[in-house]
């Protein structure tokens, strides 16, 4: 049974058991929460306002619907396998948390700072369950508007992090990591990459591999329409031909 319309006071939090709960339209205001477990819980349309969360367990937690996290700090928490859905996070900081297989699924990020490692995670502009296109009465497909996160990853460490599905990354600050390639105008970039690959490789197998790499890995359909994309060169899928892989990486870096 869901816990609904509750405003949590600081004095209640210490003794409240949050594991395996469903919370709907609940609020945490001016709270400091340390060492609590929210594992396998679900939050629907909940609010964290001016809160501090330290060393909490959010593993496999689902945050749904139009919640709001405002002016809050999250430090040294575990968000592994959490789904942070179509809610708004504003003027908040994530400091040295564990993000592993974490999904930001249509989250609206406004003036948000990330520090520390983020690995094997996804940031989607349009939720994964939604179509990238809208249709009208004439059944004409039109791309949905891009979402522009205002995020600073300048002091984060990104490893195998995907930014996809309707994002405009022009206001996102990325860390200066050698293996990260920020690509402006990806359509032009990959057309140029394929043209240069035809100058480097003469065998048809390598040319087919380069085309598949672009279409199925680097510039998949869900990235189309994004003015900027991020490619993690350390997550390059090898072709079992080390020399070819090295040449492809060099082409991508030089582009």
Report whether pLDDT(50) > 70.
Answer: yes
- Residue 163 above 90 pLDDT? yes
Least Cα distance to 168 among 229, 105, 107, 232 occurs for: 229
Look at residues 170, 171, 166 and name the one whose alpha carbon lies nearest to residue 143: 166
State yes or no: pLDDT of 47 exceeds 90. Answer: yes
Alpha carbons within 13 angstroms on the beta-carbon side of residue 39 total 8
Residue 214's domain comprises: 178-254
Query: Which of these three, 175, 194, 218, is where a domain ends?
Result: 175
Domain boundary among 175, 195, 230: 175
Domain tally for the chain? 2
Distance CA 198, CA 191 (A): 11
- Quick one: residue 179, left, alpha or beta (phi over 0 = left, psi -120 to 50 = alpha)? alpha
Bridge partners (DSSP) listed for residue 142:
134
Q: Looking at residue 129, what is its pLDDT? A: 77
Residue 226's nearest CA partner among 161, 167, 162, 151 is 167
State whether residue 191 is helix, strand or coil.
helix
pLDDT at 99 over 90: yes
pTM beyond 0.75: the answer is yes
């Amino acid at each position: 049974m869901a816990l609904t319309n509750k405003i949590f006071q600081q004095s209640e939090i210490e003794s409240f058991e949050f594991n395996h709960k469903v919370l709907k339209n609940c609020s945490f205001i001016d709270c400091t929460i340390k060492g609590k477990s929210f594992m396998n819980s679900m939050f629907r349309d909940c609010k964290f306002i001016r809160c501090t969360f330290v060393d909490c367990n959010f593993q496999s937690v689902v945050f749904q619907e139009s919640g709001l996290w405002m002016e809050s700090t999250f430090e040294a928490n575990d968000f592994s396998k959490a789904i942070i859905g179509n809610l708004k996070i504003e003027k908040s900081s994530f400091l040295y948390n564990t993000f592993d297989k974490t999904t930001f699924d249509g989250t609206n990020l406004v003036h948000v700072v990330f520090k520390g490692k983020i690995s094997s995670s996804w940031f989607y502009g349009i939720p994964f369950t939604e179509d990238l296109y809208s249709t009208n009465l004439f059944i004409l497909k039109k791309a949905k508007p891009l979402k522009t996160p205002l995020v600073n990853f300048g002091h984060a460490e990104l490893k195998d992090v995907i930014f996809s599905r309707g994002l405009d990354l022009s206001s996102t600050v990325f860390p200066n990591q050698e293996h990260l390639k920020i690509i402006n105008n990806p359509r032009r970039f990959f057309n140029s990459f394929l043209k240069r690959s035809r100058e480097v490789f003469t065998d048809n197998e390598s040319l087919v591999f380069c085309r598949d790499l672009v279409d199925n890995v680097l510039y998949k359909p869900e990235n189309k329409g994004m003015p900027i994309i991020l490619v993690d060169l350390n997550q390059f899928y090898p072709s079992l031909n080390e020399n070819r892989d090295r040449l492809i990486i060099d082409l991508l870096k030089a582009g």
